[in-house]
Structure 1
């Protein structure tokens, strides 16, 4: 269905017919706590922390090597 200005209003009509429940969760769904969720997030955060620590160590080592090579370079 299109309105007089050419915009498709079929989605608006469907949302109005369903009471707009597609855009907002019900109160029961909002307060339904997933017990595994925090443990999964903690594991994900731990894995990210380990990855970032390895990257940080790599960049520190690379920066130290660059500084050392600059100190060894003959003056111009």
Structure 2
């Protein structure tokens, strides 16, 4: 059962298989989907969309005010 150098090659092979199995994630962990993650991202994206919409409305109002003030200004 022993090989050269005093090591059992079948034991080494078995240990290598055990180490490989331990380092791999279990099937349950591989398919464990974070169900809260997408909901959090959706809430964040919705909040960003609202902020950008408000910013866009503010920019539109500001541009309209600038155009109106330029139209009221006397020509030079």
TM-score range, shorter chain: 0.5 to 0.7
User: What stretches of structure 1 of length at least 5 have no aligned partner?
Assistant: 1-25
Cα deviation digits, residues 4-28 of structure 1 (max 9, x gap)? xxxxxxxxxxxxxxxxxxxxxx697
Q: Which residue of 1 aligns with 2:65?
A: 65
Partner-residue secondary structure (3-state), 1:75: coil
Greater Rg over alpha carbons, structure: 2
Distance 2:39 2:71 in 1: 48
- Give ranges in structure 2 of 5+ residues lacking alignment: 1-24
The alignment yields a C-alpha RMSD, in angstroms, of: 2.0
Shift of 1:30: 6.6
Measured in 1, the distance between the counterparts of 2:70 and 2:26 equals: 62
Aligned to 2:45: 45
TM-score computed with the length of structure 1 as normaliser: 0.59
What TM-score do the two structures reach when normalised by structure 2?
0.59
